[in-house]
Amino acid sequence: MTTRNASFRARPLTRAIALAGLPLMAAMSTATLAQDSQSAQSDEVEQLRQRVDQLEKSLKGAVSSAPELTEDNPYILREGDGLKIGDTTISFGGFIKADAIFGSGGDGTINTYSTGLPRNFASYAASGNNSWKTGFSARESRFSFGTQTDDVAGHTLRTYLEMDFNQGDDAPGNEVVSNSYAPRLRQAYGNWNGWEFGQTYTTFTDLAALPEILNQGKMAAFIYTTQPMIRYNMAAPGGKFMVALENPSDGFISGSGTDFSYDDQSYPDLTARYQIRGKYGFYSIAGVLRNLEDDASDDEELTGAVSLSARIPTIGRDDLRMQYSYGALGRYMGLYTYPEVDLAAQSAGEVKALKSYGATIAYRHFWSPTWRTSIVGSHTEITSDLTNPVATPVANGTLSYFDSSTSAHVNLIWQASRKLELGVEYAYWDFGNIADSGSQQYEQVMASAKMNF
C-alpha cells in the first residue's frame, strides 16, 4: 500500500485523471456497499484502489510511448558556436577592422600594407619631410573557418583556416576608386593526436607574451612570423613542449626587384619551445637552428637563435609581458627589420649570419572592466661587426641605413561589448644611424574600430 501511494503522489496529472473517475465508480457500487458487511466494504475499497492503480499504469504507458518532438534536422544540430554536419562541427568567425592612420615624415600610408612596416617607417623618418599625412584602411579585416571531427582514427581532428586582405606593396589593387584587394592566406593548419600540419605562428615565439597594440605586430623586436611547418606537441612538467620542422628562408626581394636572397635552403629550420603555465603566469624558452647556404660560392653556415618570453599577472587583471631574443634572428624578428646575413659579405661570396638582439616589455592596465591601456617598449640592435659599415644600404650589409631600432606604444582601448572594440594609439620610433651616432624619428597616431563576428 505504501509503495502504491508514493507512486500515486509522484504523478499529479495521472492522479487527477484517476480521481476524476472515482465518483462514477463509487455510484455504481453504492447499492452493493449498503448491503454488505463492514469487511465487504473493505474489499470493495481495495478493488477500487487496484482499478485506480491500473488506470495510472495505463496512462503512464501512453505518455512514455508518445514520440518526442524535435525542431532541428537530425543531421544538422547546433552545438555551442558551431554548426554540426554529420560528425563534423564547423565554426565561422573573424572581425572587421577599420583603421585611420596619421603618420609623420610624409607618410600617407597609401593603403599598401595598410599600417606599414618598420623599414617603411625608417625611410619616412629619414625623408626630411616634416608634414603629417593621413590614410584609412580596412585591409586588416579577417575571417576564419574552423572544424572539429571526433574519432578520426581514435582522436579528434581540428582544422583552422584564416585569411585577411593585408597584402604587400606590389599586390593588385589601389585606393583610386574601389580599394579592392584579394584575400591573403594567414593560417591554414590541422591538429591531430598532438601533431600539427600546415601554416601557423612559428614555434620560436610565444603569443601569450604578445603585447596588445592596435598596429598588428608592428614593434621593433617582437618575434611575429607565420610559416608552413610540421609540429609535435606533448605534455611536459608544468606545461608543454613543442618541436617543429619549419619552412626555411634566407632572403628578401625588395620592392624594386633587387634580389637579396641566396637559394632555397637544403634543410628546414628546426624550432623548439618549452612553455610553463600556471597561476604565476606563462614562461617560455625557445630556440631555432638554421643552416644558411649559398650555392654560388659553395659556402654555408649553421647558426641559430634563442628567445625567452613571459606573461606575468600583477594587480587585478593587469599583466606584464616580456620577450628577449638573441642570435641569427633575421626575418623572425620585427617583421624582417634586418636581413638573414651580412649583405656586403654575401656580395663577396661569403655566408655570414647577421647577429642581433631584441627586447620587448609591455604593461597592460585595466582602468575598469571595459577600459584598458597598454604601454609597450621594444628595442633591437645589430651585434655583428658589419663587413662594410657605410651609409648606403646593401653596401653596409643591411636593408637600410640603421643598425638599431626602438619603438614605444601607448594606447587606450574601450571594450564596448564582446563584439565591439574602439581604440586610439600613439607610436614613436627611433632609428640609429650606422654611419654616425645620430638617429631619425618617426611618429604615428592610429584610431581603430574592431567589430567581431
Q: Residue 359: helix, strand or coil by DSSP?
A: strand
Q: In this predicted structure, which of 293-302, 361-370, 415-424 has the lowest mean pLDDT?
A: 293-302
**Beta partners for residue 93, in sequence order:** 144
Least confident of 172-176, 189-193, 235-239, 438-442: 172-176
Model pLDDT for residues 144-153, shown as the tens digit of each residue = 999 999 999 9
pLDDT, mean of residues 65-77: 42
What superfamily would CATH give domain 76-452?
A: Porin (2.40.160.10)
Closest by alpha carbon to 223, among 286, 162, 274? 286
Calculate mean pLDDT across residues 312-331: 97
Closest CA to 360 of 429, 423, 406, 412: 406
* H helices present in 246-294, as ranges: none
Q: How far apart are the C-alpha atoms of 284 and 173, rounded to whole Å? A: 40
pTM score of the predicted model: 0.79
Residues 147-173, mean pLDDT to the nearest whole number: 86
Domain limits of the chain? 2-64, 76-452
Whether pLDDT at 49 is above 80: no
> What letter represents residue 342's amino acid?
D
Type of residue found at 203 = T
Q: How far apart are CA 97 and CA 448, in angstroms?
A: 7
Q: Mean per-residue pLDDT for 60-75?
A: 42
Cell numbers representing residue 126 in the block: 629619414
Instruction: Compute the average pLDDT of residues 60-84.
Output: 49
- Report yes or no: 287 and 271 within 8 Å, Cβ to Cβ: yes
Instruction: Supply angle C-alpha 100, 103, 104, rounded to 5.
Output: 160
- Is 389 a residue whose pLDDT tops 60? yes
Between these two residues, 325 and 339, which has the higher pLDDT value?
Answer: 325
Q: How far apart are CA 349 and CA 71, in angstroms?
A: 72
Instruction: Write the DSSP symbol of residue 440.
Output: E
In this prediction, residue 208 carries a pLDDT of 94
How far apart, in whole angstroms, are the C-alpha atoms of residue 338 and residue 355? 9
The number of beta carbons lying within 10 Å of the beta carbon of residue 177 is 6
Residues in the chain: 453
Q: Using CB atoms within 10 A of its CB, is residue 433 exposed (0-12), middle (13-18) or buried (19+)?
A: middle
> What's the pLDDT score for residue 78?
43
